[in-house]
Structure 1
Amino acid sequence: MPAVHKTRQPFWDYFWAAKLILQTAGILPIGESSSLWKSILTEVLAASPLMYGSYVLIQPLHCILFRSDNMDELLEAVIVVITVSGGQLRSILISIHRRKIVRLFTIARKLWDETHAEDRELILTWAKRARFFCTIYFWATQVSSTLFVLTSVVKQLSLPPNSTISHYPFGIEESITPSPQYEIKYTLQIISGYLGMMFVAASDMAVTLLVLNLCGQLALIQSWLLDISKKELIAARQRTDGSFEVALRKCIRRHQVVMNFCAELEEIVNCINLVQILGGMYTMAISGARLAKNLRSYRFSGPLIVSISGLFFSCWPADNLSFETAKVAHAVYAVPWHSCSPAEKTLVAIMLTRSQRSAKLTAGKFVALSLETFSSILSSGVSCCMILLRF
């Protein structure tokens, strides 16, 4: 009984933590009602990443433009600029397509709710993966911000009493700033850093949740096709008892919804994936070079972890999506079409034709995301890292 109750859990009750983060980021509307204040609050939250990121970028940009004599400070500033501006751009692109993303989540929830309890276990397998990886990625972004904060605290405390240097979490050291201006500036940077990374995580979590839920739906279609293949056909007139055709039509309808879902999601995320790949690759290269050159540069491990995990969480779900669509095509081939009636053979032919379309996510429509792409990006990042080590 407890297991059955678990499989009947509503969609957003299962992903309640992700929903809270997505609402805080302004990606999902707050509440179900259409009240004015909730709509205004959602719009304000959606525009917040631009405000937080702009504040964090002030000091690093100043360092790049006017204090480029110190290579360590320059590269640290470049990392902050790439990470923050890349996250800002992804958040902006997500906000532009926010209504479409909300509609896709509505479709995903509807598909979840329409699934019977006995079939929900297949979807739940992918839902568990989505929840696990989204949780890991969210905390990875927060750990990255924490490393910047802690290293700035250690540096500030290690200064001699008569020092005239002030360290900041996401900024370059400056001449001593009088109190309470220093404390206010320091606190604002911490708040902006944590919230900014939360918005970055929310943007990537939205895509991961949608893709892995699609994988669950494709796995369910495969299960239905396998059940069809195991049905015993009535020999007389080579026709079935009618359930065969009903089951085929159900598979075709669900498969068409999923493929349309994939096509719309690709139109939304292809530019976001391109920003993720370019920004992640160069952040990984610079961070890795700084760490390899000086193992005491702990703060560079944060951007390194976030960049690699961000690249993986972009490529791995897309790889699974392509793999699951291919498995649907193989499942259709196993259907005993030769023993079907003409009408049923037509349905099988339709399913075969539609299953030939591969569902894939791309980076700017240039390259399809997959684990092979992930390994290529890592290889390119290592090459850039080796070049930077020469300086």
Structure 2
Amino acid sequence: MRDRSQLPDKIYNVHYENDIHYTMQLCRWILKPIGIWHLIYGRSSLYEKLISRTLIFVCFSVLCFVLIPAGPYTLLREKDIIIKIRLFGPVYFCLTSALKYCFLGMRGTAIRRCIEHVEHDWQVIQYEDHRKMMLRNAMVGRRLTTLCVIFLYIGGMSYHMIMPLKNYTIRPLVYLGYDIYFNPQISPAYEIVFFLHCLSALIQYSITTATCSLGAIFATHACGQVQILMTLLNDLVEGKRSKNTTVDNRLSLITRHHVRILRFMADVEEVLREICLMELVAATLIICLLEYYCMMEWANSDIVAILTYFILLISLSFNFLIFCYIGELIVEEYSKIASAAYEVNWYDLPGHKALNLVLIITMSHYPPKLTAGKFCDLSLNTFSTVLKTSVVYLNLLRTVTE
């Protein structure tokens, strides 16, 4: 079932299947239920692709079931500004999740290239310390994915399942606007709508965690490849690791490895740039709204609502922090290449071969970056800017609603 045309000429790592499974396991678990995995994975069968298309149709139908009634109701029909603001947050998050879902499908070819690149890198590892470096970075990617899943699902599902049950006078729903189609307060219509709302929440948070998982896995894999590149640079002069090779052979290997890293990061940037832009805009507005919701419930002394909104605020803030962290991590690791190239005993190289290191040092001053739609770089400084901007919007929102 394995397409041998995609395998390298020689496989050195006998554990590559287990290593690939360890790296991609959580991402595969998240992408399969929303129908993306088998469409982007190059060795999926026709039956698996048919299942994926069916799941995508179901997921989009559930998201549309939320957006089509709730969007016009929130923007046009609801006149109370406080209720309108309260409804705008979940509707906007659902809309951005649907857009990210579309971008995942549109970038399927680039995601497939990245996955094949990761698999190839695991197959051609020759040294045990290189494998340990990659496993260590893969573990970081798994931990970031796990934290994102825990925070988002706990915060999001508590909002969709606990908050509506607090009101005993009516049968409340998170999303409104169904009254022009049917009466959502009677049974079994209410139960069906409530179930579909919870299902839509699962889909939305699965989409969000899927994008975060892809970014974390690809970014940490790139960091592992940069660390391997630095070990190759350390071995350039003496060649203790790769015996029976010349300096030209070792320099050629370093150059090819460096170029592969740059090409991989170009593909990762292509996959994530629109998604990161959506995350940037959504994080700025939704963090502002959640801060406003916490203040409103604080005035009402509603402990359950305050706790729910606060958990959701932490969850969405942490999700965007992961994107900014991996952007910062890539730049930080890549910038170390210049120091590694300079610290080798380049003065012992024969002839003018040391001049070949100048290009590597020069390129390391222009590290690949994750950007939000090529408008701004993702870094910890960007995260602090988003938090400051959300506070500015919060003050503006309080001025308008008072």
| TM-score, length-scaled by structure 2 | 0.84
Match of 1:237 in 2: none
Measure, in 1, the Cα distance between the counterparts of 2:229 and 2:340: 9
Deviation at 1:300, TM superposition (A): 2.9
Corresponding residue for 1:154?
A: 165
Task: Indicate whether 1:351 and 2:354 are aligned.
Answer: no
Distance, in Å, in 2 between the alignment partners of 1:46 and 1:8 is: 28
Deviations 1:261-316 (A, max 9, x none): 11222233222211110111100001101102323334433542333122111111
The separation in 2 between residues aligned to 1:225 and 1:218, in whole angstroms, is 11
Match of 1:56 among 53, 56, 66: 66
> What does residue 259 of structure 1 align with?
262
Distance 1:111 1:215, change over 3 A: same
Match of 1:126 among 137, 151, 166: 137
- Secondary structure at the residue paired with 2:374? coil
The alignment partner of 2:38 has SS state of coil
Q: Pairwise CA RMSD of aligned residues?
A: 2.8
Distance 2:91 2:44 in 1: 37
Gaps of 5+ in 2: 1-12
Q: Does the 8 A contact of 1:167 with 1:173 survive in 2?
A: no
CA distance in 2, matches of 1:279, 1:110: 35
Shift of 1:25: 2.7
Distance in 2 (CA, whole Å) between partners of 1:258 and 1:281 is: 31
Greater mean deviation of Cα atoms: 377-386 or 24-33: 24-33
List runs of 5+ in structure 1 lacking aligned partners: 234-239
> Letter of the aligned partner of 2:195 in structure 1?
T
- Deviation for aligned residue 1:145: 2.6
Query: Which of the numbers 168, 172, 176 marks the counterpart of 1:167?
Result: 172
- What is residue 100 of structure 2 aligned with on the other side? 90
Once the two structures are TM-superposed, the CA of residue 32 in structure 1 deviates from its matched residue by: 6.8
1:44 deviates by: 3.2
Moved more, 54-63 or 176-185: 54-63
Match of 2:20 in 1: 11
1:100 maps onto 2:72 in alignment: no
- 1:114 pairs, out of 106, 121, 124, with 124
Query: What's the counterpart of residue 70 of structure 1?
Result: 80
CA gap 1:326/1:55 in 2 versus in 1, 3 angstroms: same
Of residues 221, 224, 227 in structure 1, which corresponds to 2:229? 221
| Equivalent residue letter for 2:197 | Q
- 8 Å CA contact 1:284–1:303 kept in 2: the answer is no
Equivalent position to 1:269, from 269, 272, 281: 272
Number of matched pairs: 375
**Residues 255 and 354 of structure 1, relative CA distance in 2, 3 Å threshold:** same
Does the C-alpha gap of structure 1 residues 65 and 385 become closer, same or farther in structure 2, counting only changes over 3 Å?
A: closer
Q: How does 1:1-391 map to 2 (within 5 A)?
A: 9-29=18-38, 33-115=43-125, 116-156=127-167, 159=168, 163=169, 165-171=170-176, 177-228=185-236, 231=238, 242-295=245-298, 296=302, 297-298=305-306, 299-342=308-351, 344-390=353-399, 391=401
Task: Output the amino acid matched with 1:190.
Answer: C
Which shifted more, 27-36 or 285-294? 27-36
Shift of 1:337: 2.4
- TM-superposed deviation, 1:7: 9.2
Q: Say if 1:170 and 1:201 are closer, same or farther in 2 by CA, change over 3 A.
A: farther
Task: Tell me the CA shift for residue 206 of structure 1.
Answer: 1.2
Q: Which amino acid aligns with 1:276?
A: E
State the TM-score, normalized to the length of structure 1: 0.86
Measure, in 1, the Cα distance between the counterparts of 2:32 and 2:17. Answer: 24
Shift of 1:360: 0.7
CA contact (8 A) 1:12 1:19 kept: no
1:171 deviates by 4.2
Larger displacement relative to structure 2 (205-214 or 299-308) = 299-308
